[in-house]
Amino acid sequence: MATNYVLVDFENVQPDSLAALANGPFRVKVFVGAAQAKGRISFELSHSMQMLGASAEYVRIARTGKNAVDMHIAYYVGRLLEKEPGAVIHIVSKDTDFDPLIEYLRAKGSACKRVKTIGEVPKHAAPRLAAAGKPAVKPTPHVPAPRRPHAEKLAPIIKHLHSLSGKPATSRKLTQTIASYFKQHGGTLPDKTVALIIDELIRLKYVSQDGTKVSYHLS
């Protein structure tokens, strides 16, 4: 049975309760921004987290920064799908910046969806929850897409490029941007790896190149 992971962007959506997930096959991670961690969380939400027991946890973001919570969620999505290619990912957020990442993952055969409320999650769970007196609907078996070199690095860099207001306009600048991003998120990459990532972005038509100039098709 596929595991349903629910990743809550608490900086964007503050659900009153997670009770709608109490009777389903869900593992919940609530991502709390550094500034929010100093505030108060409602009793109803805390109580519903307790109801879920070991299936729910808070993920506290240590530092503030633009898109800090989004980046952490994108990182978790990549790690979860690397470990469990058949997992079903539900991102609870009103932030449409997640959509290019989700479209990419779905195109690669992963089950990933963004919803605006906790109440929408059970409708998209796999397997679907059984109605009274009716058997659960069996999910279509997931066949993971063939992995390409460094595929797990594409999702976070697509998300990062999408968030930039001033995108690198040349292939050299794009190379520097990707190298700088991963130096800050996981460690320095060899030049050959950065080149392979750019080749894959071009192959998937997220980036096009004309001489030394590059343009983007991320939304």
- Residue 27 in domain: yes
Q: What is the pLDDT of residue 171?
A: 93
Q: What is the pLDDT of residue 94?
A: 92
Do 118 and 168 fall within a single domain?
A: no
Are the C-beta atoms of residues 190 and 181 closer than 8 Å to each other? Answer: no
Pair of tokens at residue 171: 């292939």
What backbone phi and psi angles, to 5 degrees, belong to 208? -125, 150
Residue 118: how many CB atoms within 10 A of its CB? 22
Instruction: Kindly report the CATH number assigned to the domain that includes residue 21.
Output: 3.40.50
Q: Residue type at 109?
A: G
Q: What is the pLDDT of residue 135?
A: 47
Domain count of the chain?
2
Instruction: Measure the CA–CA gap between 47 and 17, rounded to whole angstroms.
Output: 8
Do 34 and 110 fall within a single domain?
A: yes
Do 118 and 188 fall within a single domain?
A: no
Pair of tokens at residue 156: 């976070």
Q: What is the pLDDT of residue 151?
A: 67
Do 120 and 21 fall within a single domain?
A: yes
Are the C-beta atoms of residues 24 and 118 closer than 8 Å to each other? Answer: no
- Residue 191 in domain: yes
| Concatenated DSSP letters of 131-194 | PTTSPPPPPPPP-PPPP-TTGGGHHHHHHHHHH-SS---BHHHHHHHHHHHHHHTT-PPPHHHH
Do 102 and 167 fall within a single domain?
A: no
CA 7, 101, 95: angle at the middle one, nearest 5?
60
Q: What is the pLDDT of residue 145?
A: 45
Do 120 and 189 fall within a single domain?
A: no
Q: What is the pLDDT tens value at each position of the chain, 219 positions in all?
A: 678 999 999 888 888 888 888 777 889 999 988 776 566 677 778 888 888 888 888 888 877 777 788 889 999 999 999 889 889 999 999 988 899 999 999 988 899 999 999 988 988 776 543 333 444 444 444 444 445 556 678 888 888 898 888 999 999 999 999 999 999 888 888 999 999 899 888 888 889 999 999 999 876
User: Could you tell me how many helices (H) and strands (E) the chain has, helices first?
Assistant: 6, 7
Do 92 and 167 fall within a single domain?
A: no
Are the C-beta atoms of residues 15 and 47 closer than 8 Å to each other? Answer: no
Range of the domain at 196: 151-216
Q: Residue type at 201?
A: L
Burial of 8 (C-beta count, 10 Å sphere; 0-12/13-18/19+): buried
